[in-house]
Chains A and B, each alone.
Chain A
């Protein structure tokens, strides 16, 4: 078995360039041609896509999903749940300066409430079928004035 170490083979390297047993010129020219073609393609790509392949956020997946933090809801002892929205910077600034809550800030928080979809679980402890939770919430569903169809048919116009 013929064995040569790396150093032995390096020692056998001729100082002059030898002629190989194949058409090396053609081989080199093929590689040069491929390099030129690839460079041309790269140039064309960059001129067509100056920013490269950049995915549009709404192209494949519809609107991007933006994660909202879950709104904080506190329930008091009477069973009323209150949504605590994040105060805007303007509102916080106004409170810090004036010490009072400005009207605009209230409107902003109301609009933010309207945009949120929230699930509120009522506190059943204070809600019973017989007693309303708050007397102000009693809704009179008794019909005050009924519509009588027969009376309407027997109107004076027909006679």
Chain B
């Protein structure tokens, strides 16, 4: 093959490259292709009460929705990271129109995998991001979507992660719990606890599954 022929071929390749649609990686401002997520997700925020007259419904508000990877990153880049949030704040990311309340029809028969991160570790931002990525990427769910949402609660005694499920199917929950432990980088000492929402009103509810 002559040099001219090679040059022509290279030109042809470069022309074909120009025809490919721009992605977020090739042009972060003017990309055309977006990576769709399996579901639409809603970001909710619970504001800490600064006035005694404020009720739970006043404090919990939807912030925005996203259904592509690119929209997700745009949101994450612009909202405060968990360590910047005031105490008694919550971030909730829930599927579709599911409200982050156990009374919601989609949550009523399910429960939550819960983990409390003791101490003021700086890795809360990383763990929250890993949890979000595992949830919206649907890799924490094996088959059909058992997960309704995920919650991060900023508390004085220790920040809490909770993965909300739509059912109490033990085998499915154990699979999800095992993956959730990997996402949170938990060792043998770290315990995940599953609480069904049916026991949400009990004062000293005990977990039905511990991993």
A61 at the interface (CB under 8 A from B): no
Residue of A nearest to B37 (CB): A2
For chain B residues 28-50, which have a beta carbon within 8 Å of chain A? 28-29, 35-38, 45, 47-48, 50
A35 at the interface (CB under 8 A from B): yes
CB pair A18 B133 closer than 8 Å: no
B74 is contacted by which of A9, A20, A30 (Cβ under 8 Å)? Answer: A20
CB pair B47 A30 closer than 8 Å: yes
Please indicate the chain B residues that have their CB under 8 angstroms from the CB of A9 in the complex: 69, 72, 133, 136-137
Bound Cα distance A10, B65 (Å): 20
B85 at the interface (CB under 8 A from A): yes
Please indicate the chain A residues that have their CB under 8 angstroms from the CB of B12 in the complex: none
A49 at the interface (CB under 8 A from B): no
> Which one of A21-29, A90-98, A137-145 contacts B?
A21-29
B28 is contacted by which of A4, A18, A21, A34 (Cβ under 8 Å)? Answer: A18
Residue of B nearest to A5 (CB): B139
Number of interface residues of A (CB under 8 A): 31
One digit per residue, 1 when the CB lies within 8 angstroms of any chain A CB and 0 when it does not, for chain B 63-99 equals 1111001111111011110001111010000000000
A38 at the interface (CB under 8 A from B): yes
CB pair A2 B48 closer than 8 Å: no
A3 at the interface (CB under 8 A from B): yes
B168 at the interface (CB under 8 A from A): no
Please indicate the chain B residues that have their CB under 8 angstroms from the CB of A22 in the complex: 63-64, 75
CB pair B70 A6 closer than 8 Å: no
Nearest chain B CB to A32's CB is how many angstroms away?
9
A15 is contacted by which of B28, B69, B71, B74 (Cβ under 8 Å)? Answer: B28
CB pair A1 B138 closer than 8 Å: yes
Nearest chain A CB to B96's CB is how many angstroms away?
15
Nearest chain A CB to B101's CB is how many angstroms away?
21
B25 at the interface (CB under 8 A from A): yes
Please indicate the chain B residues that have their CB under 8 angstroms from the CB of A13 in the complex: 73
Nearest chain B CB to A55's CB is how many angstroms away?
20
> Ordered nearest first, which 7 A-B pairs have the shortest CB separation?
A24-B78, A4-B137, A22-B64, A14-B28, A18-B74, A20-B74, A6-B133
